[in-house]
Amino acid sequence: MKNTLPSFPVAAETATPRKLSRRDLITAAGAGSLTLGSGPLWAQAAAAAPVLKVGFISPRTGPLGALGETDSFILAQVRKTLAAGLTIGGVKYAVEILDRDTQSDPARASQLAKGLINNDKIDLMLTTTTPETVNPVSDACEAAGVPCLSTVMPWEAWYFGRGAKPGAPSPFKWTYHFSFGGGGFAKSYLSQFSLVPTNRKIGVLYPNDADGNAIRATLAPELSKAGFTVVDAGPYENGTTDFSAQIARFKAERCEVFNTFPIPPDFATFWRQAAQQGYTRMVKIAQIAKTGLVPSQVEALGPLAVNLGAGCFWHKTFPYASPLTGLTGVQLADAYEAATGKQWTQMLGSTMSLFDAGSEALKASTNPRDKAALARAISTLRATTMQGPVDFAKGPVPNVSVTPVVGAQWVKPAQGSKFKLDISITENANDRSIPVAAALKSYS
């Protein structure tokens, strides 16, 4: 929607418009379409500030919707912070954030990205959460020559899953990704799995999708090298409703460690069936990822959720603050709980980190309306976000910066808590500055 003030009458005998009164401006603000996301832009428009348009695409409904349940809160915080504009290279810009919900549909994610690019003429795209969202949005930006920053999916699934080849030059000029990877999971899991005695047999349930295939190719070999026997039940399709064959195999092999990277509904189906068929009673470590990131996903399992292991790519106790808002993790989590009555989730910090990195890239570009200059600024970006350090100069491959993931566990909360479960950090091999809160407990 175009941000313009309505015209005012000019006397015929003069070529100079009359000076607007305060009443005129108030009238104009009420009549015009002057918004910064959801806040007024009339002051900036009156001063003719150039406008930067930032697209933001995430899943907020559908099977992945729980992962986007904090997005509205983060968007409100970011819009409030940016209401006064952003000064870059001595120029003050108004910032308009255009947010979209993929409804957990990859095809819709691509369509939304193309709409923001072609119709809204965005300057920068931000996108988050799983290959089903991030990859189609990144592909649309790469094809159109629009700078894009993304997070929250294994970097291997983003980089190689989009056609890059090991050892070859990066095929990407416009798209950049900062997140965890298979190597980080391997280091964290090996640290986590050493905390509870087991028979070192791991049953793995990896889907036939970008996440599952990347993890199968990167994490599973590292676990084998470390002396674990990996029992892979084979790729399965998302939406599977009967896991009896996989459960039977894990039971027959007596896999005391279990690891999976499913979409949330599939894990709920599997774990309930595993309990009914007696597999959960022999599991000592149940390490889940992609699902189990937010309280609502695990609470739905009732008693079966207690002592599930999880990966944390952000926790409110991470020792990093947001450079954009100035908030610490604890402050952000407390503000979310006070505003919504809901329990904080690790998506709060990761989404805030995306806006942290995006705003730092805009400032580093010196000319954010120049897409090539902005892409170059991202390619050398070094910043500390709420999630941790981002440094695209370090690799491990071009266009990627790796962020830490640490081991955690869903446990019963401290007495007096109004919430049903709490997530507690149990190891920190990937970032020793992150505090460990408790020892890992056996699941069964």
169: Cβ contacts below 8 Å, ≥ 6 apart: 398
For residues 117 and 79, give the distance between their C-alpha atoms in angstroms, rounded to a whole number: 21
- The values of phi and psi at residue 62, to 5°, are 85, -170
Residue ranges matching CATH 3.40.50.2300 in the chain:
22-181+318-402, 183-315+405-425
Q: Read off the pLDDT of each residue in 390-417 and give the average, rounded to a whole number.
A: 95
| Residues facing 407 on adjacent strands | 311
pLDDT beyond 50 at 123: yes
**Residue partners of 148: CB distance under 8 A and separation at least 6:** 124, 125, 126, 127, 137, 138, 141, 142, 174, 175, 176
* Fold of the domain spanning 22-181+318-402: Rossmann fold (3.40.50)
Local confidence band at 3 (pLDDT 50, 70, 90 cut-offs): very low
Using alpha carbons, list the distances in angstroms from residue 43 to 36, 50, 93, 223, 260. 11, 12, 12, 58, 51
* Of 306, 308, 307, nearest in space to 289 by CA: 308
Tell me what pLDDT residue 54 has.
Answer: 98
For residue 211, name the pLDDT band (cuts at 50, 70, 90): confident
Residue position matching structure tokens 């047999």: 201
Q: Does domain 183-315+405-425 have CATH number 3.30.930.10?
A: no
**Residue-level pLDDT at 432:** 97
Residue type (1 letter), 167: G
Say yes or no to pLDDT of 82 above 90: yes
- Strand pairing report for 422-425 and 406-411: antiparallel
- Which amino acid, one-letter code, is at 283? V
pLDDT (average), residues 362-375: 96
Which range has the worst mean pLDDT, 8-22, 34-48, 137-151, 297-311?
8-22
The whole-angstrom distance between residue 155's C-alpha and the CA centroid of its chain comes to: 12
Average pLDDT of the chain?
90
> Higher pLDDT residue, 2 or 83?
83
Helices and strands (DSSP H and E) totals, the chain: 14, 18
**Nearest-5° angle of CA 385, CA 351, CA 240?**
135
The per-residue pLDDT for 49 is 81
Q: What phi, psi does 413 have (nearest 5°)? A: -75, 170
| 4: pLDDT strictly greater than 50 | no
Unique residue bearing structure tokens 């190891």? 427
Q: Which residue has the higher pLDDT, 418 or 25?
A: 418
**pLDDT tens digits, one per residue of 153-196:** 999 999 999 999 999 999 999 999 999 998 999 999 999 999 99
For residue 19, what is the DSSP state? P
What was the pLDDT predicted at 415?
87
pLDDT per position as a tens digit, 15-66: 333 444 444 433 334 443 334 444 444 344 435 689 999 999 999 999 899 9
d(CA 52, CA 49): 10
pLDDT grade, residue 206 (50/70/90)?
A: very high
pTM over 0.75: yes
- Give the pLDDT confidence of 318-365 residue by residue, as tens digits: 999 999 999 999 999 999 999 999 999 999 999 999 999 999 999 999
